[in-house]
């Protein structure tokens, strides 16, 4: 893979120069904005989408509340697993950053001395986005668009080749989808247990507790239920 970066005649390098060349023609302030967005902004935006999906979904969720929340919990876990999987890949490929091999690039962020393939940012963002898509298509589609834009910015910044980003997208997608059945099998029982908790159940479903309060019903496991059961036993 490192050998591909040494020739300026391959499409990967040509596309790198084409995209990064936009940074040379852009105003300085715009490059600073792109630097912030590429380093922190888009990843933070995708995390906010995951939280928004959880907050809105827990108020509408019914019988599938636990499964929906389990799918959302899997999103950050998938991102973490994908980055861990990337560690040996980077060490095996050992592809230098593009600005170390090619001259004339506009590098917007300094201090990138690690290997280039696969892009951690692209891996993180796409794993989050695809796992979110599994949980909620509307939110997930928005996250995928942000992840793709984030990959473009990494090339714009001069810190990654296009194939670094594509590799990150592929890795994040594979981890989020292939490990999803195992993750759901482990996480769904946990979220169901949390849903039944009188104190933490709101983390999974607000509607269930609101409906119970409106009907004056007793939430299973609560002190009122225990007290009521004791009174019935005494009466008997």
For 19-59, the pLDDT digits (tens) are: 988 888 888 889 899 989 988 999 999 999 999 988 887 76
> Looking at per-residue confidence, does 200 or 24 come out higher?
24
Percent of the chain with pLDDT over 90: 45
Q: Map residue 8 onto helix, strand or coil.
A: coil
> Looking at per-residue confidence, does 112 or 58 come out higher?
112
| Residue 86 confidence (pLDDT) above 70 | yes
- Closest CA relative to residue 68, chosen from 158, 187, 202, 217: 187
| Residue 213 confidence (pLDDT) above 50 | no
Q: Apex CA 85: angle with CA 79 and CA 89, to 5°?
A: 130
> Looking at per-residue confidence, does 235 or 31 come out higher?
31
User: CB atoms < 10 A from the CB of 216, how many?
Assistant: 6
Cα separation, 209 vs 17, in Å, equals: 56
pLDDT band at 108 (very low <50, low <70, confident <90, very high): confident
User: CB atoms < 10 A from the CB of 67, how many?
Assistant: 17
> Looking at per-residue confidence, does 147 or 198 come out higher?
147
| Residue 121 confidence (pLDDT) above 60 | yes
**What is the rounded average pLDDT of the residues 162-176?**
96
Predicted pLDDT at 2? 43
Chain CA centroid to CA 103, Å: 33
User: CB atoms < 10 A from the CB of 116, how many?
Assistant: 26
Predicted pLDDT at 182? 94
The burial class, CB within 10 Å (0-12 / 13-18 / 19+), for 170 is middle
Predicted pLDDT at 112? 81
Q: Would you state the structure tokens that stand for residue 23, as one six-digit string?
A: 């940074």
Predicted pLDDT at 57? 76
**What is the rounded average pLDDT of the residues 151-176?**
94
Lowest mean pLDDT among 43-57, 60-74, 151-165: 60-74
Cα separation, 64 vs 48, in Å, equals: 22
Lowest mean pLDDT among 97-101, 140-144, 211-215: 211-215
pTM of the model: 0.79
- Closest CA relative to residue 16, chosen from 113, 125, 122, 157: 157
């Amino acid at each position: 893979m490192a050998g591909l970066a040494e020739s300026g005649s391959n499409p990967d390098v040509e596309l790198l120069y084409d995209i990064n060349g936009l940074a040379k023609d852009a105003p300085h302030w715009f490059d600073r904005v792109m630097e912030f967005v590429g380093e922190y902004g888009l990843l933070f935006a995708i995390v906010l989408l995951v939280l928004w999906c959880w907050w809105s979904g827990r108020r509408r969720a019914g019988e599938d509340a636990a499964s929906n929340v389990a799918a959302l919990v899997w999103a950050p876990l998938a991102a973490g697993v994908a980055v861990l999987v990337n560690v040996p890949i980077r060490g095996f490929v050992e592809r230098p950053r593009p600005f170390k091999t090619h001259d004339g690039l506009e590098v917007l962020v300094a201090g990138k001395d690690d290997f280039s393939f696969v892009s951690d940012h692209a891996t993180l963002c796409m794993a989050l986005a695809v796992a979110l898509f599994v949980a909620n298509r509307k939110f997930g589609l928005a996250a995928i668009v942000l992840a793709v834009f984030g990959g473009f910015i990494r090339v714009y910044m001069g810190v990654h080749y296009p194939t670094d980003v594509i590799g990150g997208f592929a890795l994040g997608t594979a981890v989020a989808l292939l490990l999803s059945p195992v993750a759901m099998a482990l996480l769904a029982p946990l979220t169901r247990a949390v849903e039944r908790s009188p104190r933490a159940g709101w983390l999974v479903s607000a509607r269930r507790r609101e409906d119970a309060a409106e009907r004056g019903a007793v939430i299973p496991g609560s002190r009122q239920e225990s007290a009521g059961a004791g009174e019935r036993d005494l009466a008997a």
